[in-house]
Every structure is written in structure tokens, then in C-alpha cells.
Structure 1
Amino acid sequence: MNQRIIYPNDDGGVAVIVPANNCGLTVEEIAAKDVPKGKPFKIVDVSDIPTDRTFRDAWEWAA
């Protein structure tokens, strides 16, 4: 799957969900199931997620 689900975590950073390939659910269904209730989320292309994880703790949620 070439999409990721992102949402703001409780520490002010960004959580990233990597959906499993061929799990039988759409990315929207996975978001509805796995994103904590009440949290906003976005579905983004994998290319929108930085590959360098060095500063991952500094990522910020921008609505």
C-alpha cells in the first residue's frame, strides 16, 4: 500500500500508521479502526513521509 495514515499524538508529535498490504481493508477502514477516537487524521502518500527518521520526534502536525 502506498499510503500512510498520520495523526497528532499526545506528545505534540505525529503518529504514522503503515497499513498492511492485502489485509482486506481500505485505508479509510484502517484509519477508522486504528486512529484513536476524536483524533484528526490524514491519509497521505508514502512519498510525503520523510525517509530520514533522525528528527522524527520533531515532526509536527499541521492541519
Structure 2
Amino acid sequence: MPMPTQYITNENGDKISVILPIADYHALLQTLEDLEDLALVKEREPEASIPLAEVVENLKRHGKI
């Protein structure tokens, strides 16, 4: 379903801005955030993981927990 969109034009009739419902704007922002998160996950994919037990032990050793 296409989102209802209105345009603001300059004196030449060129589209320079867009007006859309706030719910659609928030949905676009959420989608962008999700895509950024996915890109970060993909970027870090080759990094080695650390077992949870090792993380907990390191935190205990340094007095963090």
C-alpha cells in the first residue's frame, strides 16, 4: 500500500521537500535503524566470540560483578 505523500515545490515546480504522515515517518526511521543494526552485525560477523563463562569470570576478576 503506497503511503500518502505530499510535496513542497519551489517556484519552478521542482519538488524540494516531502510531507508524510508522522506514523509513516516513524516507521521509516525504525526501518533505517533496523538496517543500520543489520549492517553492524554483518560487519562484526568475522570477529571471534567470547564464551559467556569467560566474560563472567573476567568481570568477577575485575570487581565488576
TM class, shorter-length = under 0.3
Higher strand share: 1
Scaled by the length of structure 1, the TM-score of the pair is 0.20
Point out which structure has higher relative CO (alpha carbons under 8 A, 6+ apart): 1
The structure in which a higher percent of residues are helix is 2
Normalised TM-score (structure 2): 0.20
